[in-house]
């Protein structure tokens, strides 16, 4: 599971760097949408599972 999280965090870092240099509104929107998806995935992976909540 940690590999998935590491990959998501690496992708997030790359997107943040791309966002800083994005030239068009379309590029910014695309990057921001991908960042939202990554954040959602990270939030989901960070939640305790049913076995953790006991």
Contacts of 32 (CB under 8 A, 6+ apart): 19
2 closest CA partner among 37, 42, 54: 42
Each residue's pLDDT tens digit, 24-43: 999 999 999 999 999 999 99
Q: Supply φ then ψ for residue 22, to 5 degrees.
A: -60, 135
In degrees to the nearest 10, what's the CA dihedral of 41, 47, 48, 53? -140
- What predicted TM-score, i.e. pTM, was given to this entire model? 0.82
2 pLDDT band (50/70/90 cuts)? confident
Question: Could you give the CA distance from residue 2 to residue 7 in angstroms, rounded to a whole number?
Answer: 9
């Amino acid at each position: 599971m940690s590999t998935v999280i590491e990959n998501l965090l690496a992708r997030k870092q790359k997107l943040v760097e791309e966002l800083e240099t994005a030239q068009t509104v379309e590029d910014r929107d695309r990057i921001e949408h991908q960042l939202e998806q990554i954040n959602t995935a990270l939030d989901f992976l960070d939640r305790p599972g049913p076995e953790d909540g006991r």
